[in-house]
Amino acid sequence: MPRFSKESNDIILRYMNEWKKSGKERRKDPFVYLSTKIPHNHKQICYYWYNKLDPKLCKMPLTNNEQDHIIDWVERYLMYNVNQQNIPWKKLQKEMKSVFNKLHSTNVIKNFWNSRKRRLMREAENILNPLIFDNYLVMGGQLFIVTRQ
C-alpha cells in the first residue's frame, strides 16, 4: 500500500469534519466509507487518523513530566494487575489528557514505554555481560580503560 498522500489527507480531514458536524449519525464507521474513496483499508485509515492526522493530537514530544506520569501509571497498573500483560493504552491516554490537557496518540505513549523498556533491558545486559575488547571494558553504557599488568 502506498503512503498517505496529501490528497488522501485532505479527503480524510474534510470528511471527518463533516462527519463530526453532522452529529456522527450519517455513518457509524467513517473509516469504512473513506476506504471507498482512497487506496487504503478502513483499519489503516482509522490507525492513521487516531495516531497522526486528528487535529486534536499534540504533535510536540512528551515532556519529562508526561514521561514520568507514563512510567508511574504503567508500573502501578502492572503491579496491581499481575496476570494482565496488555496495558490499556487508551485509558492512559485519556488520563493524560485530563492531567496535562494534551492529547498524545496512543502510539506515542506506547512507543515511549516500549523503547524505554528495551533501553533498560540493554543496559541491564551490559551490566551483567561486560564486553572486553583491546584495552577497553564496556559495562552499563560506560567505557573503562583496562590496564594489564
Partners of residue 137 on adjacent β-strands: 132, 144
Residue 108 burial class via C-beta count within 10 angstroms: exposed 0-12, middle 13-18, buried 19 and up: buried
* Other CB atoms within 10 A of residue 5 CB: 12
The one-letter amino acid at 134:
D
- b/e for 20-44, b at 16 or more Cβ within 10 A? eeeeeeeeeebbeebbeebebeeeb
Query: Any idea of the CA torsion for 63, 16, 44, 34, to the nearest 10 degrees?
Result: -170
Q: What rounded mean pLDDT belongs to the chain?
A: 85
pTM of the predicted protein model: 0.75
How long, in residues, is the chain? 149
pLDDT at residue 20 in the model: 83
Higher pLDDT pick, 144 / 23? 23
Partners of residue 138 on adjacent β-strands: 131, 143
Tens of pLDDT along 63-88? 999 999 999 999 899 888 877 778 99
Q: Which three cell numbers stand for residue 70?
A: 507514563
With residue 137 as reference, give the H or E element that holds it.
strand 136-139
